[in-house]
Amino acid sequence: MVINKSLKLENVRYDIRGPISDEADRLEKEGISIIRLNTGNPAAFGFEAPVSVLNALTESSGSSAQYSSSKGLANVREAIARYSSSMGIPNVEADDVYTGNGVSELIQVAMQAFLNPGDEILIPTPDYPLWTAATILAGGTAVHYICDEEQDWYPDIDDIKKKITSNTRAIVVISPNNPTGTVYPKELLGSIAELAREHKLVLFSDEIYDRLIMDGGEHVSISSLAPDLLTVVFNGLSKSHQICGYRAGWMVLAGDKSGAGGYIEGINVLVSMRLCSNVTGQSVICAALEDTQSVKANISPGGRLYEQREYAYNALINIPGISAVKPRGTLYIFPKIDTEMYGITNCEKFVLDFLREKHVLLTHGRSYNWMKPDHFRVAYLPEMDELVEVISRLSDFLATYQQSS
Ligand code: PLP
């Protein structure tokens, strides 16, 4: 009997954990040790959960065996609402907050509740690919607007304008951005908000890296510039508190919700169907949001993430044929590779060849819906010794690499 995947999964891709990651699994089964840099998973590289989080976990261990309400524990939602207000996110009360099993679950809820066939959503390219995948799975059409590498990877406002049609329903903004590490300035966010205003669009703002900004940069939530629009803001503890495995994320409905009753009803049905998010994960959120210090230590000069970013950027751009925009936040760098110099026509093959020869798993630009074969992403998470080893393996590999078809 042949059992196929459902037709709705036809064009759904999530290559960060796709076929090349499967190949890494296969090599590991053969006894080969692989350095896996495909996901932004800080704990896998020795980043520890802050003491504040561990204490909260111990204290709550007896009480997290029950289901919570579908939106999440009341005190947790209140803490998230306070945090959101402190970040300038307008008009958020506890009732506007939904906890989720990571932001990942909530992106899917938000898209499933929102989209009808034929609806278009503007999503950046390169993007964090779950946005594209969730849009397609929900029956919508992902229309990619260009982020311009020549302009520090900022969204190209003219390109967004060109791509707005009568079917466009929303714009997705990811700042700080995965995979580019770019932090969007206020004026640029203001221009995007203005377009949303003009064309009556909803804004979806993924702010999961809002606390991972270096070099004195500042996070601005686009919602703070659009209190007259509906903005759905996503955030969580996976990256800032290095606890991806706790699956602690949230989504808040901000700004003007006056016309959104139907949408909210849809969201409520979907979160009820999954009963509630992981209560153990929820139970550390209050303590984590109060602890801003442990996050800052990592991203300041002398801190692990800061120093690893410095090293990764400088070492990568020293390899012939590699250039990069210096990331100002997140855990990633998205270098460009000179495709002519290395005969590269297929970035998946480049990443696969590197994995097979040097046993390091990177991700290719196409995973991020970047259509040219000239980019790849490095998560600069390993301890310095291992990071030096990764870049030296890449440099050795490229010294002789010519892609064959
Ligand atoms: N949004 C962005 C931009 C991400 O990079 C990630 C994970 O890498 C997520 C959302 C999902 O995070 P989580 O489901 O762990 O909260």
Site to probe by mutation for ligand 1, drawn from 21, 47, 127, 128 as the one with most ligand atoms within 8 Å of Cβ, is 128
Mean pLDDT over all residues of the chain?
A: 95
Which atom of ligand 1 approaches the CA of 104 most closely?
A: 14
Ligand 1: does its nearest atom lie under 6 Å from the Cβ of 249? yes
Beta bridge partners, 100, equal: 249
Query: What average pLDDT does range 332-357 have in this prediction?
Result: 96
Residue-level pLDDT at 18:
83
Confidence of residue 61 (pLDDT cuts 50, 70, 90): confident
Question: For the ranges 14-23, 25-34, 362-371, which has the lowest average pLDDT?
Answer: 14-23
3-state secondary structure of 134: helix
Whether residue 359 is predicted with pLDDT greater than 90 in this model: the reply is: yes
Whether residue 62 is predicted with pLDDT greater than 80 in this model: the reply is: no
Ligand 1: does its nearest atom lie under 6 Å from the Cβ of 176? no
Sheet holding 363-364: strands in order across?
332-333, 376-379, 363-364
Residue-level pLDDT at 405:
65
- For the chain, the farthest-separated pair of C-alpha atoms sits apart, in whole angstroms, at 61
Ligand 1: does its nearest atom lie under 6 Å from the Cβ of 174? yes
**How far apart are alpha carbons 274 and 122 in whole angstroms?**
28
CA nearest to 227, candidates 393, 380, 90: 90
3-state secondary structure of 195: helix
Ligand 1: does its nearest atom lie under 6 Å from the Cβ of 102? yes
Residue-level pLDDT at 65:
86
Whether residue 291 is predicted with pLDDT greater than 90 in this model: the reply is: no
Whether residue 115 is predicted with pLDDT greater than 70 in this model: the reply is: yes
Residue-level pLDDT at 297:
86
**pLDDT single digits (tens) 220-275:** 999 999 999 999 999 999 999 999 999 999 999 999 999 999 999 999 999 999 99
Contacts of 404 (CB under 8 A, 6+ apart): 343
Whether residue 110 is predicted with pLDDT greater than 90 in this model: the reply is: yes
Contact between 277 and 283 under an 8 Å Cβ cutoff? The reply is no
Which atom of ligand 1 approaches the CA of 244 most closely?
A: 15
Looking at the chain, the whole-number percentage of residues with pLDDT higher than 70 is 100
**pLDDT single digits (tens) 371-394:** 999 999 999 999 999 999 999 999
Ligand 1: does its nearest atom lie under 6 Å from the Cβ of 283? no
CATH numbers and ranges of domains, the chain:
7-48+296-400 (3.90.1150.10), 51-291 (3.40.640.10)
**Residue appearing with tokens 């607007």:** 145
Beta bridge partners, 363, equal: 377
Q: What is the DSSP string of 73-110?
A: -HHHHHHHHHHHHHTT--S--GGGEEEEEHHHHHHHHH
**pLDDT single digits (tens) 327-336:** 999 999 999 9
